Amino acid sequence: MWYSFVDVEIHLENIVKNFLFLQKSCSSLVPVIKADAYGHGLIPVARALTHAGAKAFAVGSVEEGVALRLMPFEGDIISLLGPVEQRDFKLICEYNIIPFVYHFEQIENLGEIAKRQCPVALKFDTGMARLGFTEKDIPRIIDKLRFYSNLELKIVASHLALADSVENDFVLEQVKRFNNICQMLTQAGFKFKKSLANSAGILAWPETYYDFARPGIALYGGNPFWGTNWQEKGVSLRPAMKVRAPLVNVRSLSKGETISYGRTFRAPSDMKVGIVAVGYADNYSRSLSNKGWVVIKDKRCPIIGRVCMQMMAVDITGIQSIERGDMAYLLGGRNVSILPEELAEWWNTISYEVFCVLGQNNRIYV
């Protein structure tokens, strides 16, 4: 971005390593690359994973599916949001995208518009209460699918609500509901693939594997169990995103002086501070004011005072040889790193949001 000095390094080889690591537990994976691959870049991530053996992908919008098809990619493309706008129905047929469908109007529209066989994935609600048919819709679904013989039921899927929480009964409750749904459709004579697991499901709940799993966050190196007593299950995942910005000034701050807007930080003693060229305009949250840390020359430095629009101050007291032009790592680092989960905790959010929003800066593939 032309007004920003923030660079986002994407380490594609780590995404590949994470993919191969997850594959050891669950052999059939459909990588989730929605939202521009969680901020890592749809096409570069798809290319890297295709070389590593991925045969299918799940995207968010139909339009992301079209972009992937034009890569070109010839395998299955699943759109998790399915058709949202009217033109999505045409795109689904034209670019051979498998849509998640979760209300009857989608089935009817697609059935009316598809000139040839069109694969569909039925999304069921087993506990998220967001999107999805429920068990009581099944008789009507069966009628519709028999009526629209151009629609081919290929996948039945649902999504876990609590798989990243240790030792809970809800995952198995969702498995039970999902089994019932699949059984009813099988008894009606349909043949399809079943899919339930997300990253946390793959790492901890073999009951959720079925025909294929849909890993997202773990591919990018986020550990869904970080900070829990199941943390070990994800420790070998490697974050693929590093974010850095340059120091644009180094100066001293005398005891008793304040720094930045609102005068929220007062120097308890004489200090050395660095001014880093990153702020909330770069999607680095203002909520990190007086809370977050960066890494400069392998040393952790705390943010002092308010994060501004395009800069912020960090405490570099006592660190030798730091000068203007040195890089501050906001995420990742060289020998000393900031984990996505740490940054997320200071930010009062989750690693998913950290990746998605910081990834909107200028990306460099290394």
Ligand X SMILES: *Cc1c(COP(=O)(O)O)cnc(C)c1O
Q: Which of the residues are catalytic?
A: 34, 261
Burial of 202 by CB count in 10 Å (0-12 exposed, 13-18 middle, 19+ buried)? buried
CB atoms within 10 A of CB 232: 11
The answer to whether 154 and 193 have CB atoms below 8 angstroms apart is yes
Minimum distance from residue 292 beta carbon to ligand X (Å):
24
In the bound state with ligand X, the residue whose beta carbon lies nearer, of 46 and 273, is 46
In the bound state with ligand X, the residue whose beta carbon lies nearer, of 206 and 256, is 206
- Sites of contact with ligand X (CB under 6 A): 32, 34, 80, 159, 198-199, 214-218
Going by the DSSP 8-state scheme, the letter that residue 29 receives in this structure is B
Which residue number is nearest to ligand X in terms of Cβ? 216
Please give the C-alpha separations between residue 33 and each of 13, 19, 88, 282, 334, in angstroms, as whole numbers: 16, 12, 18, 22, 26
Minimum distance from residue 363 beta carbon to ligand X (Å):
19
- CA dist., res. 245 & res. 89, Å (int): 42
Beta bridge partners of 303: 314
Minimum distance from residue 264 beta carbon to ligand X (Å):
35
SS3 99: strand
Minimum distance from residue 224 beta carbon to ligand X (Å):
6
In the bound state with ligand X, the residue whose beta carbon lies nearer, of 223 and 283, is 223
- CA dist., res. 340 & res. 352, Å (int): 9
DSSP string, 221-247: T--TTTTSTTGGGGTT----EEEEEEE
In the bound state with ligand X, the residue whose beta carbon lies nearer, of 215 and 221, is 215
Minimum distance from residue 34 beta carbon to ligand X (Å):
6
In the bound state with ligand X, the residue whose beta carbon lies nearer, of 40 and 214, is 214
